[in-house]
Structure 1
């Protein structure tokens, strides 16, 4: 956890860096595909009065993917909302314990949500449920983004926790 926005560690090791790079690559790829699909759909509708029919479904799945994976990258990059004027008033040791408490609470929530959404995904898979859409997508395919997203958030929360045990140069 980077305790100060100007100093302190930003990575807990190469494993976290590699996962972050892979997450960034996947998120960027999905974003490019999403923008391309929306632009193509707009061009076809406006210019040729034709719709792909499946663009809305795929863009919905893409938005969910980008939301979860982007949130994980934002968490790692310390771009989430924080109450800095309150957090910075605490002494360094107390601030680290406050961050640890937040991380533990958030980690418990992420693990519970990942577990429950995994159950939902496995239920849809075992019952052979399909989306009532043009593509008839098996529901487990978009639903798997939920446990993966919560797990990725939990992974970077673990990194945040590990980083609170490193001393920053300002304390």
Structure 2
């Protein structure tokens, strides 16, 4: 069972999620193309593109979470959902969203602890760039927090659906 694409306009958080993940993807592409041209044409390299692309991949992954959740892009067990009535679907959605919120909130809290620990210890990547690790780790906090906001909105929507 497929549903039609969501036609509503993007809200501010969805736009931020879209733009941040898109910018990371564009930067990844530019870095890879630059590396290909440097290696193929000039027999040279940036030496750091693999590290930077790795950080940007984390950005794409975490920044896109909020948009994917709000647009229903994550996998669902349709076989179960199609057997439920409207009330069952509403209860199922609420339970799933509350459990997801709890898990992401706990994970986000640990991400924050992780970033603070890296910042306090002045931890850096063991690479020539010596990137302070709190910088790419902060992306995980931002992405997870954006997802939490979207999940909170979904829970409110689920409660409204149950009330009606």
Taking structure 1 as the reference length, what is the TM-score of the superposition? Answer: 0.86
Q: Which runs of 5+ in 1 are unaligned?
A: none
The aligned runs of 1:139-154 (5 Å cut-off) are 139-154=133-148
Question: Please, which moves more after superposition, 146-155 or 116-125?
Answer: 146-155
Equivalent in 112, 115, 128 of residue 106 of structure 2: 112
Q: Does 1:38 align with 2:36?
A: no
Change (3 A) 1:101 1:147: same
Q: What is residue 51 of structure 1 aligned with on the other side? A: 45
CA RMSD of aligned residues (A): 2.4
- For residues 7 and 57 of structure 1, the distance between their equivalents in structure 2, rounded to whole angstroms, comes to 36
Q: Report how many residues are paired.
A: 162
Q: What is residue 78 of structure 2 aligned with on the other side? A: 84
Q: Does 1:26 align with 2:26?
A: no
Deviation at 1:51, TM superposition (A): 0.7
- For residues 8 and 99 of structure 1, the distance between their equivalents in structure 2, rounded to whole angstroms, comes to 17
Q: What is residue 5 of structure 1 aligned with on the other side? A: 3
**CA deviation profile, 1:15-59 (whole Å, cap 9, x unmatched):** x81111122111111111110111110110111111101111110
Q: Does 1:66 align with 2:66?
A: no
Q: Does 1:123 align with 2:117?
A: yes
Deviation at 1:136, TM superposition (A): 0.9
Q: Does 1:165 align with 2:159?
A: yes
More contact order relative to length (CA 8 Å, sep ≥ 6): 1
Contact 2:21 2:61 (C-alpha < 8 Å) held by counterparts: no
Contact 1:113 1:147 (C-alpha < 8 Å) held by counterparts: no
Question: Residue 82 of structure 1 aligns to a residue in which SS?
Answer: coil
- For residues 139 and 92 of structure 2, the distance between their equivalents in structure 1, rounded to whole angstroms, comes to 30
Q: Which runs of 5+ in 2 are unaligned?
A: none
